[in-house]
Amino acid sequence: MDVSVIFPSKNRECYIKRAVKTAFKAKHVTEVIVVDGGSRDRTIELAKRMGAKVIVQSDLTYPGKGIAMRDGAYLSRGDVLVYLDVDIRNLTPDFVEKLTEPIINGEAEFVKGCFERAAGRVTELVAKPLLRMFYPKLARFKQPLSGEIAGLRKLFYKVNFERGWGVDVGLLIDFYKLGVRIVERDIGYKDHDMKPLYALTDMAYEVATAILKRAVKDHIIDAQWAERYLKDVKKLDFGEFEEGFA
Amino acid sequence: MRTVLIGGGSHSAYFAINAVREIDPYGRLVVIEFTSEKVDVLSRMFPFAELIRLDIDEVDSYVRSNSSIIDVVITATESDALNLRYCKMSKENAIPIIISIINNPLNAKIFADEGITYVINPYDFIHRELAEILEADVNILYRFHKTDILLASIKISKDALLHYLRKEIGKSHDLSAIFVSKTGEVTNSIDKVGLGWKAYLIGTRLTVEQILKNVRWL
């Protein structure tokens, strides 16, 4: 089985060279794809120099991680796709191999990576409670928002990618509903930058939206209720207060 | 001519389908789309085209098995990743003409690096139009894809420039020009031209580019 490794990235010139080089060293890897969100630094140049295929995302504005992942899947030719963050400081070929092993051995079709650290704040406070309410079987995953994943390429063509941060949990739920065999695999310690608290608001909102949207579609949440209350949430989000609200 | 257009659901595809129909009314146009809903809509919109629904991976085998009878492949999906993939696959299958309508101008070079000759960048005209409206000193109006011909305009703002053009146009055999005054008067004789006129040059790329380069230094 051929493996394609996909790195969504933007302005990551200090990480890209090492990331591409390391990915190529992993077993079965035949191509490395960098989906660039319109970098203004040397990310694209360095990625190409290291032998990666590069594509710039399809919108002029940065359309989000989900669309980057979708474009990576579209460009790839391998039987198995691996998605990794480009800014993992301790990235080794082992990361790729641990993710692909269950698929190559026929134990799973989709692998969710988890790592040796406490799950993030959005995971614990948003994703897990919502999954426990609406998709309890998925609440057993230690890190349902992990971006380190692997799966059979053909599976990624059967689902719609969320545009932004909801993509990882969205894929998990969609694959679960398709009856895909999913396992979680510990990939070891991951050394990368944590987001500051203020940057998590948008992320939490997108993750919650991705889960709730699916719950409505699957008739777990009443559509009329969602129409009324989620619209109100959106209004608040954009600051469109009703008259007299204050 | 048998044309296969991949990705019928995008905005650019709408214009491309109509253009192909107009250019080649008796040709066969096959439009490949990935979702059955879009295929239904498109088949009603474009009854003259043959609509096919294929999965993303099935397009490769369709083109491969029909490569001997396909004259043109146009990729117009909403993802440049997919456009690039299908262009490369069409190239591997020796399709005579491969055209990609890209979504993001930043990807134009990537397509060129992969040897895709005909890349249509829908944003390309913005610079050209602005330069024409705002009367830039020089403006490349069109680079012809299939011939090495270039069409450009130059604002004649200095005597030195007028003398230079007079000399170049007189001696070049691969260059033609017409001139338009501010009041709309048109002539093909540079002797009637004064300052403030605009020259429209058409000629071989090398000659016109050399003139534009020199004009910038005058």
Residue linked to tokens 């190559």 = A104
Closest residue in chain B to residue A71, using alpha carbons only? B81
Within this chain, do residues B26 and B118 fall inside the same structural domain, yes or no? yes
Within this chain, do residues B113 and B148 fall inside the same structural domain, yes or no? no
Helices (H), chain B: 11-23, 36-45, 58-66, 80-92, 108-113, 124-133, 159-171, 205-217
Greatest pairwise CA separation for chain B in angstroms: 64
Interchain CB distance below 8 Å, B56 and A71: no
* Chosen from B38, B107, B109 to mutate, greatest number of chain A CBs within 10 A: B107
Chain A residues whose CB is inside 8 A of the B81 CB are: 35, 55, 58, 70-72, 74-75
* Ordered per-residue pLDDT tens for chain A, 246 residues: 999 999 998 888 999 999 999 999 999 999 999 999 888 889 999 999 999 999 988 656 667 888 899 999 999 999 999 999 998 888 899 999 999 999 999 999 999 998 876 658 889 899 999 999 999 999 899 999 988 999 999 999 999 898 888 999 999 999 999 999 999 999 887 777 777 777 788 889 899 989 998 998 899 988 888 777 766 665 555 444 444 332
Nearest to A115 by CA among A81, A138, A92: A92
Asked if A71 reaches chain B (Cβ–Cβ under 8 Å), the answer is yes
Strands B186-187 and B175-180: antiparallel
Residue A31 bridge partners (DSSP)? A4
How far does chain B reach from its first CA to its final CA, in angstroms?
A: 48
Domain containing residue B40: CATH number: 3.40.50.720
Q: How many CA atoms within 13 Å lie on the side-chain side of A186?
A: 5
* Ordered per-residue pLDDT tens for chain B, 218 residues: 999 999 988 888 999 999 999 999 999 999 999 988 899 999 999 999 999 999 999 999 999 999 999 999 999 998 999 999 999 999 999 999 999 999 888 899 889 989 998 999 888 889 999 998 998 999 999 988 888 999 999 999 999 999 999 999 888 889 999 999 999 999 999 999 999 999 999 999 999 999 999 988 77
Compute the distance between CA of residue A69 and CA of residue A49 in angstroms, rounded to an integer. Answer: 22
Nearest to A129 by CA among A144, A113, A149: A144
Interchain CB distance below 8 Å, B85 and A71: no
Predicted confidence at residue A62, as pLDDT, reads: 62
Helix (H, G, I), strand (E, B) or coil at B67: helix
Question: Considering only CB atoms, which residues of chain B are within 8 Å of chain A?
Answer: 55-57, 78-82, 84-85, 103-107, 110
Last residue of a domain, one of B91, B122, B153: B122
Within this chain, do residues B110 and B17 fall inside the same structural domain, yes or no? yes
Compute the distance between CA of residue B11 and CA of residue B200 in angstroms, rounded to an integer. Answer: 33
Predicted confidence at residue B123, as pLDDT, reads: 86
Within this chain, do residues B56 and B133 fall inside the same structural domain, yes or no? no
Q: Are B70 and B62 in contact (CB under 8 A)?
A: no
B210 token code pair: 């050399």
Domain count along chain B: 2
ipTM of the complex: 0.73
Strands B72-75 and B97-101: parallel
Q: How many CA atoms within 13 Å lie on the side-chain side of A63?
A: 20
Cα of B103 to nearest chain A Cα, Å: 5
Helix (H) or strand (E) holding A213: helix A200-217
Within this chain, do residues B74 and B108 fall inside the same structural domain, yes or no? yes
Within this chain, do residues B30 and B111 fall inside the same structural domain, yes or no? yes
Question: Which of A54, A74, A154 lies nearest to residue B82, judging by beta carbons?
Answer: A74
Condensed to tens digits (0 to 9), the pLDDT of residues B80-134 reads 999 999 999 999 999 999 999 998 888 998 899 899 989 998 888 899 999 989 9
Within this chain, do residues B80 and B183 fall inside the same structural domain, yes or no? no
Burial readout B154-187 (b: 16 or more C-beta within 10 A, e: otherwise): bbbbeeebbebbeebbeebeebebebeeeeeeee
Chain B residues whose CB is inside 8 A of the A60 CB are: 104-105
Domain containing residue B199: CATH number: 3.30.70
Q: Are A170 and A147 in contact (CB under 8 A)?
A: no
Question: Residue B208 corresponds to which amino acid?
Answer: V
Within this chain, do residues B102 and B57 fall inside the same structural domain, yes or no? yes
Nearest to B91 by CA among B112, B66, B73, B113: B73
Within this chain, do residues B115 and B187 fall inside the same structural domain, yes or no? no
Cβ neighbours for A163, distance < 8 A, ≥ 6 positions apart: A63, A64, A66, A67
Cβ neighbours for B157, distance < 8 A, ≥ 6 positions apart: B137, B195, B196
Chain A residues whose CB is inside 8 A of the B56 CB are: 74, 157
Predicted confidence at residue B172, as pLDDT, reads: 84
Helix (H, G, I), strand (E, B) or coil at A236: helix
Within this chain, do residues B115 and B16 fall inside the same structural domain, yes or no? yes
Question: Quick one: CA dihedral A132, A136, A137, A138, positive or negative?
Answer: negative
Asked if A59 reaches chain B (Cβ–Cβ under 8 Å), the answer is yes
Within this chain, do residues B21 and B107 fall inside the same structural domain, yes or no? yes
Predicted confidence at residue A188, as pLDDT, reads: 83
Architecture per CATH, domain A3-237, reads as: Alpha-Beta Complex (3.90)
Nearest to A212 by CA among A156, A183, A170: A170
Predicted confidence at residue A234, as pLDDT, reads: 58
The 3-class SS string of A6-39 reads EEEECCCHHHHHHHHHHHHHCCCEEEEEEEECCC
The radius of gyration of chain B's CA atoms, rounded to the nearest angstrom, is: 22
Residue B109 domain boundaries? 2-122
Question: Residue B56 corresponds to which amino acid?
Answer: I
Helices (H), A88-192: 93-104, 121-122, 128-134, 153-156, 167-177
Instruction: Give me the torsion for CA of B160, B162, B163, B166, rounded to 10°.
Output: 160
Compute the distance between CA of residue A52 and CA of residue B47 in angstroms, rounded to an integer. Answer: 42
Within this chain, do residues B67 and B158 fall inside the same structural domain, yes or no? no
Cβ neighbours for B92, distance < 8 A, ≥ 6 positions apart: none
How far does chain A reach from its first CA to its final CA, in angstroms?
A: 60
